[in-house]
Amino acid sequence: MKRALTLFALILPSVASAGSGSVSLNFRVSVQAVCQLHSQSAEQITLRCTRNFVPADPHALPELAGKLPLATLRLSTTSPYSGGGTLNTYALERPSGESGELIFY
C-alpha cells in the first residue's frame, strides 16, 4: 500500500501541471491468506493465520515449507488471536511405533 501511495504522490503533481481537469486512478487490493508458526511443542503446533483462515493441510502452505514436522497434523482448536488473526492448534499424530526422536547419522 505504501508503494501505491508513493506512486500516486509522484504521478499527481505531473498530471496536475499538465493542465488536465480530472484524474482517475483504479486500485485493486487483495489479501492472500497466510499462516506463520506461533508455537510448537512435542504434542502440538499452533499457527497464527489470517483471520478466519483454517488450512486443512498446513504442509501445503509455501510459507511453512520446512518449518513443520512430517507428522500428520489434526486440527484440535481454533480461536481468535488478540493481536489479530486466528490461532489454529494442531495435534501431531505420529505413526505407531515412532518414538518422536530425531536420529542424525
Query: Alpha carbon of 17 to those of 5, 24, 60: distances in Å?
Result: 19, 15, 50
Q: What is the pLDDT of residues 22-65, one digit of tens each?
A: 888 898 988 889 999 999 999 999 999 999 999 999 999 999 99
- Supply 101's cell numbers: 526422536
pLDDT at 19 over 70: no
Cβ-based neighbour number of residue 73 at 10 Å: 22
The pTM of the full predicted model, rounded to 2 decimals, is: 0.64
Let me know if 53 is exposed, middle or buried by CB neighbors in 10 A (0-12, 13-18, 19+).
middle
